[in-house]
Amino acid sequence: MAWTYDKLKVGDKDSVSKLITDEVVRLFAQVSEDFNPLHLDEEFAKTTPFGRRIAHGMISAGLISAVLGAHLPGMGTVYMTQSLKFRRPVFLGDTLTAWAEVQEKIDAKKRIVLKTWVENQKGEAVVEGEALTMFDV
C-alpha cells in the first residue's frame, strides 16, 4: 500500500523479513568496517558466551530502517530519532522480521511516532525501540 500522511492511523503496522546468512554478515562488516571476530570467526565465537557467531546488532536496526523508508510510513519518510534495546542475539540462519506500528500522529508537523521491533523466527524480540519520523510526501 502506498501511504499518505492522511491515510495513516494509529495502529497501522507493516514489516519486512530477511534471512541472516554468512553473506549478509560479511557484507555488513564490509560496509560498516566492523570486523569483530564475534561476527566473522567461528573458532573465536565458540569461546564466547554465545558459543557461535552472532550477527551485528545494527543489521536488525537496518531492517527497521527498511520498514520505515520503504513500507510504513514509506517513501518520503525522514528518520529523526530511533531508540534501540537489544534483547537477544541474532544467529546466522535466523529469519528476522522488523515491524513498525504507528503510535501517534503529530499533525502540526506531519510527524509520526512508531513502535519498532524485530523478532526472530520463533517470535522472540531481538530488538525493541521507538522511532520518530517526519512524513514529507
Range of the domain at 74: 5-135
Question: Cα(25)–Cα(41) distance, rounded to whole angstroms?
Answer: 11
Task: Decide: 70 and 108 in contact? Cβ < 8 Å.
Answer: no
Task: Decide: 84 and 98 in contact? Cβ < 8 Å.
Answer: no
The number of domains in the chain is 1
What are the tens digits of pLDDT across the range 105-122? 999 999 999 999 999 999
The CATH number for 44's domain is: 3.10.129.10
Helix (H) or strand (E) holding 66: helix 57-70
Question: Cα(3)–Cα(9) distance, rounded to whole angstroms?
Answer: 10
What are the tens digits of pLDDT across the range 126-136? 999 999 999 76
25 is written with which cell numbers? 554478515
pLDDT per residue as tens, the chain (137 positions): 567 888 899 999 999 999 999 999 999 999 999 999 999 999 999 999 999 999 999 999 999 999 999 998 888 889 999 999 999 999 999 999 999 999 999 999 999 999 999 999 999 999 999 999 997 65
